Amino acid sequence: MEFTGDEYPLTLRQDSILTIPILPAELVTEILSKVRVKPLLRFTCVSKSWLALISGQEFIKSHLNLSANNKDNTHHRLILNFGRYLKQWSLKSLLYESVTEASTLYYPMKIPKRSFRIVGSVNGLICLADSSKDLVLWNPSIRKYKKLPNFKTNFWDVSWFVYGFGYDEFRDDYKVVGCFYYDYSSFDVEVGIYSLKSDSWKSICSLPDGMGFLIELGKFVNGKLHWVNNINDYSYEGCNIISIDLVDEKWETVEQPSYEEGDIDLQLGLFGSDLSIYINNEGKHVSVWVMKEYGVRESWTKMFTIKYADYSYSYAQPFFMSNKGEVVVAFDETFMIYNPNDDSLTPTGIHSDGWQYTEIYVKSLVSPFPTDELMIQESD
């Protein structure tokens, strides 16, 4: 059963004639762990014991686990990045309801003069980067954000940079990996890794020999961040995939499947919780490959192929599969639901011109300040 928090309105009055039953602490915890984030924030005002419970790391992790694994995707949101602001939709509404309403999420700090992009989302935390390399870690569900310190490179100027955002489960630490390039015409690069626990950057081993530009943003899977890598120029043709383990901070190459003739424009993504590759074939269709068993090349499976037959779009990104097997597909300006069983595409009602990045995040109590209490921080 899904609880919103409105089922149990609490009014604590000294003159109340009603007696509120005292429930065992274990039962209170179980009930509260099924309540949504917004009412939970209100419940922190009920008593010091409730504040301590809801703010505790054990409760936050338990609540996150239930929310993230909810089969109806009740707590998940689809967010689109429009450069200076975000729009979000309920994933449950998008998949299962006829009407999907959007809400706008503004940059958590002052309205930026520069555009920003989504680096990634893990456990309800969203990492944002603006065009001058500034980073912000933000949980819109609890309205808390943290501006991260800048990585100080040895270059007098940086012409290109890419980030990735992930979680080090071994150390219970959120990390950002940044690759900073001196010049487009060379492979001079510095690599830094930021730790939220220490609130600091450190330089780590640069990219392996022979590696070129990392394209787009890192994808977090199985404790590692992954990028498409090109040793020739900034394009998607002739690419390979490299990853860095957030625990031991070592790089490695990820083996790819055997593509079909004519496949071009390789793009890296997430399909559910699995690493995936989307390949556009000369504007005719997009093929979706998924690594079902991480690290095993033979487990790469071609899931399906979405044809462009009735659509004049040159770009498609399948990025989420529901528990019913349906897939959310982002075309240039339209979002569709693809059913692999009959190859049908159903409009979602979302038409968004100008979006740049897509992400799915789960509502959670995870704070960008790991040790503080759950007090709401208003935007500046």
3-state DSSP percent of the chain in helix, strand and coil, to 5: 10, 40, 45
pLDDT digits (tens, 9 = 90+) for 229-268: 876 554 445 678 899 999 999 999 898 887 765 555 678 8
* DSSP state letters, 13-61: -TT---------HHHHHHHHTTB-HHHHHHHTTT-HHHHHHHHSHHHHH
Query: What are the two backbone dihedrals, phi and then psi, of residue 184, each rounded to the nearest 5 degrees?
Result: -60, -30
Nearest CA to 323 out of 97, 99, 38, 71 is that of: 71
pLDDT for 13: 43
Give residue 328's pLDDT band: very low, low, confident or very high (50, 70, 90): confident
pLDDT for 21: 63
pLDDT for 246: 96
How far is Cα 361 from Cα 367, in angstroms, rounded to an integer? 14
Q: How do strand 173-181 and strand 189-195 relate by DSSP bridges?
A: antiparallel
User: What number is the average pLDDT over the span 107-125?
Assistant: 81
- Lowest average pLDDT, out of 58-72, 79-93, 98-112, 199-213, goes to 98-112
User: Where does the chain hold its CATH 2.120.10.80 domain(s)?
Assistant: 65-371
pLDDT digits (tens, 9 = 90+) for 44-54: 888 888 899 99
CATH number assigned to the domain covering 65-371: 2.120.10.80
> Which pair of tokens denotes residue 54?
């809801």
How far is Cα 372 from Cα 111, in angstroms, rounded to an integer? 26
**102-106, strands of its sheet edge to edge:** 102-106, 85-90, 76-81, 357-362
The whole-model pTM stands at: 0.86
Look-up: residue for tokens 């039953």? 21
Cβ-Cβ contacts under 8 Å for 270 (sequence gap 6 or more)? 219, 220, 221, 276, 319
Residue 228, CA distances (Å) to 51, 255, 269, 277, 363 in order = 44, 12, 10, 10, 29
